[in-house]
Amino acid sequence: MSGKVTLVGSGPGSIGLLAPRGREAIEAAEVVLYDQLPGEEILATLPKGAELVDCGKHGGDHTLEQDEIEALMIARAKEGKNVVRLKGGDSFLFGRGGEEMESLRAAGIEVAVVPGITSAIAVPEAVGIPVTHRRFASQVTVITGHEDPTKGESALDWRLLGQSRGTIVVLMGVKNLPQIAVALVENGRSPKTPVAIIERGMRPDQRVTVGTLDDIAGIARAQSVRPPAVIVIGDVVSLYDGTTLFRP
């Protein structure tokens, strides 16, 4: 008899923000395939008696490729095991949870999901940056920063993004930040648009770096900004006053 796979979004990294249903799923798991983004606080609580498989990214290298992760989940579930796939944030927002769901369904494996709090909203919120605000932004767009805007064909509409007056939240965008800033300005966004980079959001070593589209790349380089980080672009960043509203 086949087992079951539960896709658990752990939220931004604070154990207090991991849903009780997610904690229950982890505690009952016989196999846990985990990424690094859940953070040390959550990873330290994984059940010692379970098979723990590190699927994270270390120094730019993946310990397991996506197809290997999916194959391992399927294999363990077919052995009758109760499997948890643990991710940071929410599994269905740039977490490849949708792809994993498809693969598991195609293999006839039962799939459940525990939604997680997405860092795209929670991390800016924790430092007093609302991604929407009646005076500043009535829409928010969340994009992946993995994609280099200078490549031949882009899945992102940079013309539309540049002309938008709403908030843009970029996940996984530290490496391509210079190209992202240039693409937005070239497509109509003011070079003076405020930008905030929130590194290691909602963790004890959280750091916020602010600037504008025309200088943020240089500031980030000078400050040695590193992932993981959430980048917020838009007038809502002007509400940041240096305080933190959430303490882990």
Active-site residue, selected from the candidate residues 4, 35, 81, 90 = 35
Residue 236 makes CB contacts below 8 A (sequence gap 6+) with: 124, 129, 130, 131, 132, 133, 136, 137, 167, 194
Closest CA to 97 of 110, 106, 88, 108: 88
Active-site residue, selected from the candidate residues 54, 78, 172, 175 = 172
Structure tokens at 172: 């996984």
**Catalytic status, residue 101:** no
Angstrom distances, CA of residue 6 to CA of 31, 63, 82, 111, 157 = 10, 21, 8, 6, 33
Closest CA to 171 of 101, 55, 90: 90
Residue 26 makes CB contacts below 8 A (sequence gap 6+) with: 8, 32, 45, 46, 47, 84, 86
162 SS3 class:
helix
**Catalytic status, residue 172:** yes
**Catalytic status, residue 67:** no
Active-site residue, selected from the candidate residues 54, 57, 78, 175 = 57
Say how far apart CA 4 and CA 33 lie, in whole Å. 13
* Catalytic center residues: 35, 57, 172
